[in-house]
Chains A and B, each alone.
Chain A
Amino acid sequence: MSIVTVILSRAFKAFVTLLAIAVLNFCLLHAAPGDPAVVLAGEAGAADEQMIEQLRERFGLDQPFYVQLGKYVGSVLTLDLGYSFRQGAPVAQLIAERLPATLLLTLTAFVISLVLGIAFGVAASARVGKASDSLLTTLALLFYATPLYWAALMAVLVFSVWLGWLPGFGYETVGAGYTGLARAFDIAKHLVLPALTLGLFFMAVYMRMTRASMLEVSQLDFVKTAKAKGLSGPAIRRRHILRNAILPVVTLAGLQAGQLVGGAVLTETVFAWPGIGRLMFESLAARDYNTILGVFLVSAAMVILFNIVTDIVYRLVDPRIGAKA
């Protein structure tokens, strides 16, 4: 099967999956207690029947469930994410406003975790059983086991409150009026703590997986052959072992990449990072249906997209996969 056919067939399946996800999301959300009209009325500190009815009508909640569902599916098919009545703006615009911040955070964390994770994993496997291996493995275990929320708070406490090296929260210095490079540097400073906090967990996962996989592959016969040929240790590790050991890491990276757009609710909350994760969480609390459904749909699309990308990457890394299929 050529790559083009694979992509086409996967795209069709993806479309069906996405539609099913949209319907499921809609049903689940409407099954949750509470609705946006009552939440809005509740926040106003006073409400009468007229107000609740007005709001229901505006949200379209006065219609039968199947009509609401039909309308929603119709708008999804026309790529219309709808309007957030709570925030008074189109959902697509709300998501677009938050997307750059989220991508900056998750991509940075992704790259940090992938690069460092693989590097440390290779390093640890090369020194298996030695003190430096134990140190790296223990550190990885620690990062892996530490709750993200706690790690984030501790990072703020140490680097922001005690040492005062880095800003503890936010996307940039508010009202400073930086432009160009100064602004980029300012954002980068704000990015350090959240990106590291978010990246450490995945770094630990990649490292442990790379190390285990490297050790497994290094026992195989072709490695012995390479050694017999007289190749140097580093060359064997890079060209022969790592290339074969990387597949499980690619799988996992594909999973993480799929979540890039979904944002990181906890990290974004603790560091007041204005991303999509918070938009989703806050919309959920307010039962802002259109916004939550929009975020869910975009995230689901990303997961599916990155699954396809992962499949393609598999073929590039390991040509045997395409041949077999």
Chain B
Amino acid sequence: MNTLRATTFLIAATFAAPLAAQQSGGRLDIVVQPEPPGLMMGLVQNGPTQLVAGDIYESLLRYNSDLEPQPSLAESWEISDDGLTYTFHLHDGVKWHDGEPFTADDVVFSADVFLRETHARLRASLAYVESITAPDDTTVVFQLKEPFGPFINAFEAGTMPIVPKHIYEGTDYATNEMNATPIGTGPFKFDEWVKGSYIHLVKNEDYYLEGKPYLDEVFYRVIPDAAARAVAFETGEVDVLPGGSVENWDVPRLTAMEGVCSTGAGWEFFAPLSWMWMNNREGPTSDVRFRQAVMYAMDRNFVKDVVWNGFGKVATGPVASSTNFYSDDVTQYDYNPDKAKELLAEMGYGGEAVRILPLPYGETWQRWAEAVRQNLSEVGINAEIDSTDVAGWNEKTSQWDYDLAFTYLYQYGDPALGVSRNYVASQISKGSPWNNVEGYENPELDEKWAAAAGMVNAEDRAAAYAEIQKEIVDDVPVAWLQELEFPTIYRCNVKDLVTTAIGVNDGPRDAWVEE
């Protein structure tokens, strides 16, 4: 009987799969937190903006969870053997949401004119570009000055959103009135934004992929309180909680509900890695033995299991294990308070106070700082917590006014895009919280970072980055903490929501709701 039932189930399961064809229709309610400052993705590139505007704007490529490029506005592409010429063939018959035709000129305008002026992160990659040209309406050629390994990763929607030339050419981008009603090529059109409540997107009926999108509409809901967001999901008001929108301790309760699924996927491109900047310039943190002592003093597994409810992975070094070119052949800093005490005694640490600056992003981060403070106290480090709000945190870190400062950064799929910027001397510059804030200087490694970025062959790059990781982990310029995992929580009848390396950000294109 049992066997029979199992067999029946197996057969049913086998046959059910092809039956589950995508169904059109329905709506999704997705939490967006905090409310985005604007939706014009060429101007604003923060997380909430991309979550919403990632359905409105597109780039040339998308990336699967192994970070392999997939077609988006570009149907196909070639890279020349010398790694200098990138040729993209665009989809035919793509239209902007206002009905104007989309052409290669829009791509040239976006990358070469608009984003050069507005997009700091892309500007760094564009420094390698000699020219961007459109030989015909559906072909775009990027000609590089010198090879740049990660260049193929620059065609993600948040990195290079394609904006309409016919609307922005010759205008003041920041004050263009059309920013309030964004026009893109994406699967959903902007309909309405009721500030403080919701943003409403509707299906783009003229979308160039046959049959897509499946959903009729998407509502992005603004709910400022974390507990209220959890309640909104519990009561069925919203269908999707993107990663990080509820506190960690609410996650087990919500995922235990019937018909609720969750996934840690969809963050491979960003691969957020957290660490504490340690001020390499002055104070006890300028001594490498002190920095190593901090690494040994911290019980990072405890934090992962308790503060993060088991989500994430203890970091071994500067590169996240989910991205390309990660190497685990490095010194491992296990929890070892005795070794920490030895190192402190050896350097003659005299009990100077060190200030810990937590990241003001909610309860989890506050507790994390408290856990670290306690760990440091246990080995005799005189640590105190110096709390502030987001603007204060930006100010203190970018003005180097801290001893230990929590942070996390996206890796953007490649060490040359998201990792090296935190360790090379050319990135030491007051005023930005996203560069070499700790003030680490190692000219020998600087050369290796630069060489690795310019290699064409992936195997050569892997070897070069493995060498860099091995060396830098001994220097401990920063205290690496954890590869963060932000589970996406959703109703199980929402299908194909997370299919790419940026997850919900471009998920609604393929998502559908099973009746």
Contact = CB atoms under 8 A, between A and B. Distances in A.
Interface string B207-234: 0000000000101011111011001101
Contacts of B396: 33
Interface string B389-430: 111111110100000000001100000000001000000010
Given A88-B38, A175-B217, A287-B391, A42 B200 contact: no
Interface in A210-266: none
Interface stretch (B53-61, B189-197, B338-346): B189-197
Nearest to B270: A45
A275 B197 CA distance: 10
A42 B225 CA distance: 22
B429 A272 contact: no
Interface string A80-112: 000001111100001001100100000000000
A35 interface: yes
A89 to B, nearest CB: 7
A282 B44 contact: no
Interface in A272-313: 272-275, 278-279, 282, 285-287
A52 interface: yes
A63 to B, nearest CB: 18
Contact of A270 (B225, B410, B431, B433): B225
A97 B237 CA distance: 24
A184 interface: no
A34 B395 CA distance: 5
Interface string B194-205: 111110100000
B121 A169 contact: no
B335 interface: no
Contacts of A41: 120, 394, 432-434
B231 A46 contact: no
A40 B235 CA distance: 34
Contact of B391 (A32, A87, A160): A32
A50 interface: yes
A48 B217 contact: no
Interface residues of B, number: 58
A98 to B, nearest CB: 6
Contacts, number: 171
Interface in B115-150: 120-121, 123-124
B388 interface: yes
B46 A272 contact: no
A160 B231 contact: yes
A117 to B, nearest CB: 27
A48 to B, nearest CB: 5
A175 B200 contact: yes
A50 B231 contact: no
A156 B391 CA distance: 31
Interface stretch (B27-35, B93-101, B244-252, B507-515): B27-35
Contacts of A161: 231, 234-235
B64 interface: no
- Among A48, A50, A101, residue most surrounded by chain B Cβ atoms (within 10 Å): A48
A278 B432 contact: no
B237 to A, nearest CB: 8
A34 B120 contact: no
A272 B225 contact: yes
Contact of A86 (B37, B217, B433): B37
Central interface residue in B47, B120, B227, by most chain A CB within 10 Å: B120
Contact of B46 (A45, A49, A97, A98): A45
A35 B391 contact: yes
A44 B224 contact: no
A33 B180 CA distance: 30
Given A270-B225, A285-B390, A164 B235 contact: yes
A49 B431 contact: yes
A35 B398 CA distance: 12
A42 B434 contact: yes
A68 interface: no
B279 interface: no
B391 A278 contact: no
B391 A34 contact: yes
A274 B197 contact: yes
A88 B227 contact: no
22 contacts: A32-B391, A33-B391, A38-B391, A38-B398, A38-B431, A39-B390, A45-B45, A45-B410, A46-B124, A47-B434, A47-B435, A49-B429, A50-B123, A85-B174, A87-B37, A89-B180, A168-B231, A168-B232, A272-B224, A278-B224, A279-B196, A287-B391
Interface of A: 32-35, 38-52, 58, 85-89, 94, 97-98, 101, 153, 156-157, 160-161, 164, 167-171, 174-175, 269-275, 278-279, 282, 285-287
Given A44-B121, A48-B432, A49-B429, 20 more contacts: A32-B392, A34-B395, A38-B431, A39-B390, A41-B433, A42-B433, A46-B45, A47-B120, A88-B174, A98-B195, A164-B235, A168-B228, A168-B231, A169-B237, A175-B27, A175-B198, A175-B217, A279-B196, A282-B34, A286-B391
Closest 8 CB pairs of A and B: A34-B391, A274-B196, A46-B121, A43-B46, A34-B395, A47-B432, A51-B120, A33-B395
